[in-house]
Structure 1
């Protein structure tokens, strides 16, 4: 019953900082407080925010069960935080490289 039936929307079209996968699950998987209210209001659609890699990890993750089937979120939250920090630093690195390239191209075209 914990199987994810469907991954809605192309993750590529979401902004990098908040890649959002709407996972339709077969039960109330309570990853976050927001997910609980989301689950109650839309027949157990669970929204997860993260990178594509993290969403894949969550999909493959076999959660430990406790309190009659609620999912322990702490492990996923720690993993998500690490993933988000990694993504943020990668984005900063790319921005810096783009700035260097832009600067190089401008000075190159002026010197022609």
Structure 2
């Protein structure tokens, strides 16, 4: 015994309904296609702009960091030179006062030609 066909089967066999389904399907295919393409374009542009901005931010941060590091290095270098000069002055002064009882001339007075 055959069963009664469902209403959906009967509805889907109507050519008018088939055409309606095709129109809806084509419409949504186009709509989804345009939506997908526009979203992909938006993502591509956003990625491009974002990477450019990120690169600029990173480059600026590196330049600022290098400038700060150079400033710190120069300050430490000047301090080191100053402390070295202080040490040299201290050693020379100590040598001068240690030699206070002797001759301070550096040339050798004997054996001149």
TM-score w.r.t. length of structure 2: 0.38
Higher relative contact order (CA 8 A, sep 6+): 1
